[in-house]
Amino acid sequence: MTTTTGISHLRRGSDGPFDADTIRRSDADVPYYSGLPSSLVTALRAGVQRAPHAEAVVEVPGRRLSYRELWDHGSAVAGGLRDAGVGPGDPVAIDLPNGVDWVVSLLGVMLCGAVVVPVNTRLAPEEHAAVLTGSGAVMTIDGATPAPRAEPYVDGSRIGSDTAAIFYTSGTTGRSKGAVSTHEALLAVAENMWRAAAIPRDLGPDLRTLVCVPLFHVTGFAAQMVTTLLSGGALVILNGLDAPKMLETIAEERVSMMVAVPAIYFYLLSSPSFTSDGVSGVRWALYGGAPISPELVIRIKQGLPAARVANGFGMSETSSLATLLPHEESDSRADSIGYPCPCVDVAILDADPETGMGEILLRGQTVTTGYWREPDLAPQSFIDGWLRTGDIGRIDDAGRLYLVDRLKDMINRGGENVFSVEVENALADAPGVKEVAVIGVPDNMMGEKVGCVIVPGEDGVEIDVVLRHAAAQIADYKVPQYVAILETPLPRNPAGKVLKQVLRTQIVWGHPVR
Q: What is the pLDDT of residues 406-417, one digit of tens each?
A: 676 778 888 887
Per the domain annotation, does 242 fall within a domain? no
Residue 226 lies in a domain: no
Mention every residue, 6+ apart, whose C-beta is less than 8 A from residue 289. Answer: 219, 261, 262, 412, 414, 415
pTM of the model: 0.87
Average pLDDT over residues 73-89: 98
Residue 252 lies in a domain: no
Q: How many domains does the chain have?
A: 1
Instruction: For residue 317, tell me if it sits in a domain.
Output: no
Q: How far is CA 239 from CA 66, 67, 204, 246, 409, in A?
A: 20, 22, 24, 9, 30
Please list, in sequence order, all residues whose beta carbon lies within 8 angstroms of the beta carbon of residue 127, skipping any fewer than 6 positions away. 120, 176, 474, 475
Q: What is the pLDDT of residues 176-190, one digit of tens each?
A: 799 999 999 999 999
- Could you tell me the pLDDT band of residue 172, with boundaries at 50, 70 and 90? very low
Residue 226's beta-bridge partner residues? none
Please indicate, yes or no, if residue 414 is contained in any of the structural domains.
yes
**Single-letter code of the amino acid located at 423:** V
pLDDT category at 170 given cuts 50, 70, 90 is low
Q: 501: closest CA among 457, 453, 462, 466? A: 453
CATH number of the domain encompassing residue 472: 3.30.300.30
Q: How confident is the model at residue 2 (pLDDT cuts 50, 70, 90)?
A: very low
Whether residue 435 is contained in a domain is answered as yes
> For position 173, what pLDDT does the model report?
40
Does some domain include residue 197? no
pLDDT digits (tens, 9 = 90+) for 325-336: 999 999 999 999
| Residue span of the structural domain in which 475 resides | 410-506
Would you state the pLDDT for residue 402? 94
Report yes or no on 163 lying in a domain.
no
pLDDT of residue 474 exceeding 50, the answer is yes
Per the CB < 8 A criterion, the answer to whether 106 and 116 are in contact is yes
Q: What is the pLDDT of residue 175?
A: 66
Evaluate if residue 222 carries a pLDDT over 60.
Answer: yes
